[in-house]
Amino acid sequence: MKQQIRFCTARDGVRIAFATAGAGPPLVRVNNWFTHLELDWVSPVWQHWSEFLAERRMLVRYDPRGSGLSDRDPADISLDALVSDLNAVVDALGLARFPLIGLCQGGAIAIAYAVRYPERVSQLVLYDSYLQGAYVDAGEKAARQAQAFAHMIELGWGRNVAAFREMFAGLLMPQAGEQQQKWMGELQRRSASPAMACRLWNEFNSFDVRAEAAKVAAPALVFHVRGDAMVPFEAGRRLAATLPNARFVPLEGSNHILRADEPAWLIFKKELNDFLGLDEPIGAAETPQLASLTSREREILDGIACGLTNVQIADRLHIAEKTVRNHVNHIFSKLDARHRAQAIVIARKAGLGRE
């Protein structure tokens, strides 16, 4: 599979490199810490990820400002600036509505974007991500550890320092093979300078999207590896609990980046395909159950299919939240749906929720 690399310009003039591969509905991958569009595409760490994500869709990837093929020394690397990079990429591609997949720090950026542009985000997939960084209400120990790692980045990033390379690989992929460890060292050297890698690390640990997460309208699927040493499992659990319409999928393992030969990788692929399949155009499929819905119930089901909460549907239709709850119970009963995600599948197969 080939990729096409292009460039766009963010609101402050920073040039952002982005790539597309595959065909079908778009899937936008939000950048994580350090990337390089060319190296990642053929890497022993990320290649199976990219091939899978582009298998049924047009995968959109990009290098964050300060990394890879994007401008390497931007003045502004704040969360707002990183959100503007994502917006510049999707605008350059002319995308109107799309799912986002955010890995680690990319999850926080995806959440911030989904709140700023709710009409554009159909679904969120968040993997090993978090609500707040180590410098924000995480306790003195977590902050000290993050600061100590920042100092190590300044000294060891991209250099032939075995202790740093092994420690870094141990955090990301404790089960990495020799080839994967070697590649991670090469990616450090070619993706970003030690100073920029440290700046980005400190910025990511200053993220706080707790308020934004509570406002996300899109349905979300939250994955977290139970033994992840980079982002604690508890952070993923809190993230899923804060999002209004999220399902949590724990993954067994210890690798922050799943290997292709892990059982958890198969679970991740199936769950993600099932979830994203909810929003793929399937064509109208009117069933006797749908035909039994009243016009008001159909309006509410359309809101559910759009990823709206009961409160948001009530505001949209100018009715009480309690009335929406009662209708939702009747809708689930008529559709024989056990939960909201199942109702969304039925509704979208019938062409609802497409606005």
Regarding whether 317 and 213 lie in a shared domain, the answer is: no
Quick check: is 218 in a domain? yes
Regarding whether 304 and 342 lie in a shared domain, the answer is: yes
Percent of the chain whose pLDDT exceeds 90: 69
Domain tally for the chain? 2
State which of 246, 277, 308 marks the end of a domain: 277
The pLDDT value recorded for residue 284 is 43
Quick check: is 192 in a domain? no
Is residue 289 within 8 Å of residue 336, measured between CB atoms? yes
Regarding whether 128 and 248 lie in a shared domain, the answer is: yes
Instruction: Give every CB contact of residue 223 below 8 A, 6+ residues apart in sequence.
Output: 125, 126, 127, 128, 236, 249, 251, 268, 271
The pLDDT value recorded for residue 131 is 98
Regarding whether 34 and 80 lie in a shared domain, the answer is: yes
The CATH number of whichever domain residue 220 belongs to comes to 3.40.50.1820
Regarding whether 250 and 129 lie in a shared domain, the answer is: yes
Regarding whether 221 and 293 lie in a shared domain, the answer is: no
Quick check: is 155 in a domain? no
pLDDT per residue rounded down to tens, the chain (355 residues) = 789 999 999 999 999 999 999 988 999 999 888 899 999 999 999 999 999 999 889 999 999 999 999 999 999 999 999 999 999 999 999 999 999 999 999 999 999 999 999 999 999 999 999 999 999 987 899 999 999 999 989 888 878 777 787 788 888 899 988 889 888 888 888 899 999 999 999 999 999 999 999 999 999 999 999 999 999 999 999 999 999 999 999 999 999 999 999 999 999 999 999 999 855 544 444 567 787 888 889 889 989 988 888 999 998 898 999 999 999 999 999 998 888 888 888 887 777 876 5
Angle among Cα 243, 245, 250 to the nearest 5 degrees reads 75
The pLDDT value recorded for residue 354 is 62
Regarding whether 115 and 60 lie in a shared domain, the answer is: yes
Regarding whether 223 and 331 lie in a shared domain, the answer is: no
Quick check: is 27 in a domain? yes
State which of 277, 310, 333 marks the end of a domain: 277
The pLDDT tens digits for 293-352 are: 888 898 899 899 888 889 999 988 989 999 999 999 999 999 988 888 888 888 877 778
Burial class (CB in 10 A: 0-12, 13-18, 19+), 234: exposed
The pLDDT value recorded for residue 278 is 58
Is residue 305 within 8 Å of residue 274, measured between CB atoms? no
What's the domain range around 265?
3-133+208-277
Measured CA distances, 141 to 136, 146, 148, 203 (Å): 12, 9, 11, 18
Regarding whether 18 and 105 lie in a shared domain, the answer is: yes
User: What is the reported pTM?
Assistant: 0.78
State which of 277, 297, 313 marks the end of a domain: 277
The pLDDT value recorded for residue 282 is 43
Report d(CA 276, CA 125) in Å as an integer.
Answer: 9
Regarding whether 89 and 11 lie in a shared domain, the answer is: yes
Quick check: is 176 in a domain? no
The pLDDT value recorded for residue 158 is 79
The pLDDT value recorded for residue 285 is 47
Quick check: is 306 in a domain? yes
Is residue 63 within 8 Å of residue 31, measured between CB atoms? yes
The CATH number of whichever domain residue 296 belongs to comes to 1.10.10.10
Is residue 29 within 8 Å of residue 60, measured between CB atoms? yes
Regarding whether 271 and 302 lie in a shared domain, the answer is: no
The pLDDT tens digits for 250-305 are: 999 999 999 999 999 999 999 999 999 855 544 444 567 787 888 889 889 989 98
Regarding whether 102 and 40 lie in a shared domain, the answer is: yes
